[in-house]
Amino acid sequence: MRLIGLLCIGAPLVAAIWPIPTKYTSGTDVLWIDSNVKVDYENPDTGSTSNASQQLVQTAIQRTYKTISDQLFVPWRFHPRFTSFEPSTDNKIFISSIVLKQNSPDVEGFNKPNDTTVDESYQLSVATSGEVKITANSSVGLVYGLTTFSQLFFKHTAGGSYTNLAPVEIQDAPKFAHRGINMDVARSYFPVSDIKRILDAMAQTKLNRFHFHVTDAQSWPLEIPALPELSGKGAYYTGLVYTPEDLKDIQDYARSLAIEPYLEIDMPGHTSSIWFSNPDLVAAFNTQPDWSTYCAEPPCGTLKLNSPAVDDFLEKLFDDLLPRVTEYSSYYHTGGDEVNKQAYLLDDTVKSNDSAVLQPLMQKFVDRNHDQVRKYGLTPVVWEEMLLEWNLTLGKDVLVQTWQSDAAVAQTTEKGYKALAGNYNYWYLDCGLGQWLDFRPESAAGFYPFADYCSPRKNWKLMYSYDPLSGVPADQQHLVVGGECHMWTEQTDSATIDRQLWPRAAAAAEVLWSGAKDEQGKNRSQILASPRLVDFRERLIARGIQAELPHMAFCTQNGTQCAL
C-alpha cells in the first residue's frame, strides 16, 4: 500500500499521452505486455481499399510490438529520488488480447486524404483483466489507437514492459485535419534516413502531413529524369540528391505511417538553383553585393515572368514530377512566397517593378501552373502572398498556407478560402539561432547582437500558446483546416535536425490534434503539459531521436516543482 501511495504522489497528473486525448480516464492497476500477445484485426472491407488498409494496420501492429519490446524507458524522472516506484514482478498479469475493430471500410483515397476524407477518431479501452479493444471508423483511426496504446507502457529495470494505468478508457479525435511539418531540404540536404526519422517522430505525435519543401534558391536536390541537369548541376554536390527511388521510398514510408507526403517546388521566387542548369530562365541571379534589393536572402534569382521558355520548362517539369506525386497525395504546393518585385527590373521579358505590369503576368503564371496541377487531380496549395499581396484570382479549391500573421489566416477565410495556419512568430523552428549572414567589420556594430529576423527562438511554450483560430470569426473557423510548423534549414543540417525539431514540433502537434484550448475553453496549462512533454521526449530518445530536454529531472521528480 505504501508503494501505491508514493506512486500517486510521483505519477504525472495524467498519463503521459501526447497529444492529449479528447476524453480520458485511467486507473493505477498494473498490466504487463509481451510479444506473445495476439492482435486481432477485424477489417470489414473486401473492396478496393482492403489491401491498403490491411497493410497500414499490419505495419502499425509491427511497430507497436517493436515499441513495446525495444523502445520504452524507465520513468525515474517522474518519481521522487531513490523511491521504488516500479511494480512488483511477482504474479504478473499480462495483456491477453488486443482486438482492433474497424467499423466501416476505408473510403477511396483514404491514404492520400484531403481535409475531409478520413474519420481519424478512435476509442481505446484497456480492462484490468488484460483485454484491449481499439475501435475506429477507419484504418487510420486504428493506427492512432495503437500509437496511444504504446504510450501507456514503460520499461521495467528488471526487464519487461508494463503499464500502471489500467483500466484505461479513451475517446479521441483531432481538432484539425491537416497537421504538418514543412521541411526544407534545399538550404541543407538531409539523407533519406533523416527524413524517415522525422516521419517516425511525426507519427508518434499524430502529425499527418509531410510538406516536402524540396527545392529552393540555394540547391535543387530533386532528381527530375526528364530534366537531369536540374539536380545534375543544381544540387550542392555529387550524390546530394533525391533520386526517383529515394522519393518513392520517402513517400512509401510516410504512407506506411498514415502521413501524407506532399511536395513543394517554390516559384517564381526561390528558384535561383535552376540557373545552374538553365541560366536563360532565371532573372537577377545572385545579384551582388546589393542582393537585399532583389531578394530576401542570397542568392537572388526568380523565374522570368513573361517567358514562353519558362512555360515550356514548367510543363516538362510538372509532367515528369506530378504523376509521381499524385499516387501519394491530394496536394501539390506551387509556392509563391517572398516574390521580390525589384527582381523583375532585371528580367529581360518584363523590365518593370510596376504592380500594374507584374500582377497580370503573375496571374497568368499561376493559372498555368494550377491548370496543370489540376489536370493531375491534385489540389494546389499556395503561400498567402499570392492571395493577400498579389490579389490573384485563385480557384476556390486552392488551399492557402499563411505564415506572416494571425490576420493573414482571418483575411484568407474572409475571402472564402481554406487556410493553413503557422504564424512565424510562433511556429518557425529556425528562429533564434542568430544571424547566418556575416557582417562587414565597418557595419557589424549596427547589427549587434546579431539576432536573426525572427528571433527569439520559439520555445515549446510559445509554440504551445499559439491558437490557429486566433482572430478568425466563429462562422469561418471551419475553413482553417489545420497548420504546419516550419523547419527552414539555413543553420540546421543532419547533425542538429533532431534537436531543432523535437520536442518543439510536438507542442504544435498537440495544438493541432487537441486544440489550443482545454475542455473549459481556457488556454491549456503549461504545468499540466510539461510532464507529458518530458515523457514524450523520453519516448523519442528511446527511439533514437536526439530530442532536447524541456527541463531537468528535479522539475518532474516530485509533482510539478518548477511552476511559477
Ligand X SMILES: *[C@@H]1O[C@H](CO)[C@@H](O)[C@H](O)[C@H]1NC(C)=O
Site residues for ligand X per CB under 6 A: 48, 51, 80, 103, 107-109, 114, 116-117, 119, 121-123, 135-137, 141, 341, 345, 353, 355, 359, 390-391, 465, 523, 558-559
- DSSP string spanning 298-334? SSP-EE-SS-HHHHHHHHHHHHHHHHHHHTT-SEEE-
Smallest gap from Cβ 159 to ligand X, in A, equals: 29
Smallest gap from Cβ 137 to ligand X, in A, equals: 4
C-alpha grid cell, residue 186? 534545399
Which residue, 191 or 559, has its beta carbon nearer to ligand X? 559
For residue 389, with 0-12 CB atoms within 10 Å meaning exposed, 13-18 middle and 19 or more buried, which class applies?
middle
Which residue, 74 or 107, has its beta carbon nearer to ligand X? 107
C-alpha grid cell, residue 112? 492520400
Return the DSSP state at 545: -
Q: Which amino acid is at 174?
A: P
d(CA 469, CA 463): 14
Smallest gap from Cβ 418 to ligand X, in A, equals: 8
Which residue, 120 or 223, has its beta carbon nearer to ligand X? 120
For residue 5, with 0-12 CB atoms within 10 Å meaning exposed, 13-18 middle and 19 or more buried, which class applies?
exposed
Which residue, 465 or 476, has its beta carbon nearer to ligand X? 465
Smallest gap from Cβ 86 to ligand X, in A, equals: 19
Express the helix, strand and coil content of the chain in percent, nearest 5 each: 35, 20, 45
C-alpha grid cell, residue 78? 517522474
Q: Please give the torsion angle defined by the CA atoms of residues 421, 425, 429 and 435, in that order, rounded to the nearest 10 degrees.
A: 140
Which residue, 116 or 288, has its beta carbon nearer to ligand X? 116
**Contact in structure between 200 and 59 (CB atoms under 8 Å):** no
Which residue, 137 or 306, has its beta carbon nearer to ligand X? 137
**Contact in structure between 147 and 16 (CB atoms under 8 Å):** no
Active site residue 338: yes
Smallest gap from Cβ 51 to ligand X, in A, equals: 4
* Residue in 131, 169, 338, 389 annotated catalytic: 338
Q: 75 forms bridges with which residues in the sheet? A: none
Smallest gap from Cβ 334 to ligand X, in A, equals: 17
Residue positions annotated with a catalytic role: 338
